Structure 1
Amino acid sequence: MESEVRTLLFDLGGVIVELEGQPIKNNWIGSNDSPKASWEKWLTSDAPRAFETGKISADEFANRMISDLKMSISAADFKEYFTNWPIGPYPGAIEFLKSLKSRFTVALFSNSNELHWERKMNEMALDGVFHQSFASHLMGLAKPDPEAFRYVIEALESEPAEILFLDDNRLNVEAARIQGLQAEEVHGLSEAKRCLYRRRLYLNP
């Protein structure tokens, strides 16, 4: 029998915040790849990981991505596109999160970076919406690493089994379960709401 959920831990991009397609465009790399294949190419570079853990600057990240993937775009244009990749919270997302705060600890755990974090917290008005926030570039740790989950669990001062983690990446969900969290893969706000509704944690799917 699963433990009672006391903490709701949300990923941001693809769950609470809508993203504009993929982080790279096929015409930059001269391919007609599917979104999945484009994402796999993105992961062949170690630059995103270094950027998301705060080890390199935005300029170095852009230059390394262009070099690693041989992209036909300037560093300035790539950085501008990447900065604006997150569109904004899904409609109703902020109200949804606030409606949960009286019954649960509501926290976020995001693989983020210096370009996106400022926009999400200020421009998208997410600062103060969560009881606690965990951003990879500020922690120096990123999903799906076990150390990242252990850091978050300790900071939340919660039993792992009492945390429900929602993420759009299967690897992150599986990693969370290994650390003892309850975890579900969801894509977008509607799926997140339906997940909580099925678990009788939210009344309006």
Structure 2
Amino acid sequence: MTIQHVLFDADGVLQEIPGGWYAAMEPYAGDMARDLLHKTWKEELPSLAGRGDYLPLLAATLAEYGVSAAVEVVYADVWHRIDRNDESFAIVDALRRNGYGVHLGTNQERYRGAHMRTTMGYDGLFDVSCYSYHLGVAKPDPAFFVEAARRIGAEPSSILFVDDSAANVDGARSAGLIAEQWELAQGHDVLRALLARHGLNASAPAL
């Protein structure tokens, strides 16, 4: 089946944390930043699927590591420290102008997801947005992609999924989507070539 839709991951594909997660947390946790983040990311997993409240868990972990700053301050400074990649979004815009459906498929708990949807304006940039906390299931579970295809209203085989995680790509393929692994560090010429191999025109249309 001809690909008619592209489903993009967010972190590492469309956006990034300037300097990376560890550097963002270092002002609060110093050389314990890496350990703190890995611990709290494990605790975050249920909330990615919409179960439970992440902030109290994060607050407890911050206290355990001796971070005195309020959880709301740390969360806003670290989790909301997001840079949109202009070149990625130029490709999103070009694909839409060329007639393809362009969608977002991302693992987020509800606070960061809400920030992306409203403050960053993502709801207006995609035809369908699939946030894991809202779907009730997180990548790489194939059920995430089955539900995403249902919401897009398309056959899975007509959707190309792009993600920086090999596990997520495998999950998408298990659900019948076409899927490719790509990350920002590879450069956008690689992404454009990848899209072209699947018959997709990611060049801006002539005015």
Query: What band does the TM-score fall into relative to the shorter chain?
Result: 0.7 to 0.9
Task: Structure 2 unaligned segments of length 5 or more: list them.
Answer: none
Structure 1: state its 5+ residue gaps: none
Residue 5 of structure 1 is matched in structure 2 by 3
* 1:166–1:183 Cα contact (<8 Å) kept: yes
Change (3 A) 1:105 1:25: same
Point out the more displaced range, 10-19 or 118-127. Answer: 118-127
Equivalent residue of 1:173, what SS?
helix
Counterpart residue number, 1:97: 92
The number of aligned residues is 195
* Alpha-carbon offset, residue 99 of structure 1: 1.9
Matches within 5 A, 1:4-153: 4-20=2-18, 21-22=20-21, 25=25, 28=29, 30=31, 42=38, 46-66=42-62, 70-73=64-67, 74=69, 75-87=71-83, 89-101=84-96, 102-153=98-149
CA RMSD of aligned residues (A): 2.9
Cα offset, 1:45, TM superposition = 5.2
Question: Which is further off, 98-107 or 133-142?
Answer: 98-107
Match of 2:178 in 1: 182
Asked whether the 8 Å contact 1:150–1:179 carries over to 2, the reply is yes
CA distance in 2, matches of 1:22, 1:193: 27
TM-score (norm 2): 0.78
Sort the Cα spacing of 1:120 and 1:192 in 2 relative to 1 into closer, same or farther, 3 A: farther
Structure 1 residue 169 displacement after superposition: 1.0
Report if the CA contact (8 A) 2:50-2:134 is conserved.
yes
Structure 1 length normalisation: TM-score? 0.79
Gap change, CA 1:19 and 1:155, over 3 Å in 2: same
CA gap of 1:4–1:118, structure 2 versus 1, over 3 A, is same
Q: What is the CA-CA distance between 1:165 and the residue it aligns to?
A: 0.3
Range with greater deviation from structure 2 (151-160 or 140-149) = 151-160
* CA distance in structure 2 between the partners assigned to 1:167 and 1:139 by the alignment: 18
User: For 1:46, what is the secondary structure of its paired residue?
Assistant: helix
How far apart are 1:44 and its partner, in Å? 7.7
Give the aligned residue type for 1:61.
L
The match for 1:199 is 198
Contact 1:83/1:115, CA 8 A, preserved across alignment: no
Partner of 2:153: 157
CA positional deviation for 1:4: 1.6
C-alpha distance in structure 2 between counterparts of 1:64 and 1:172, whole Å: 29
Compared CA separation, residues 44 and 77, structure 1 to 2 (3 A): closer
Q: Percent identity?
A: 23
8 Å CA contact 1:166–1:192 kept in 2: the answer is no
Determine if contact 1:109/1:135 at 8 Å carries over to the other structure.
Answer: yes
Q: CA separation in 2, counterparts of 1:44 and 1:58?
A: 9
CA deviation after TM superposition for structure 1 residue 56, in Å:
2.4
Cα distance change of structure 1 residues 195 and 58 upon mapping to structure 2, 3 Å threshold: same
Task: Compute the displacement of 1:204 (Å).
Answer: 3.8
How far off its partner does 1:124 sit? 2.3
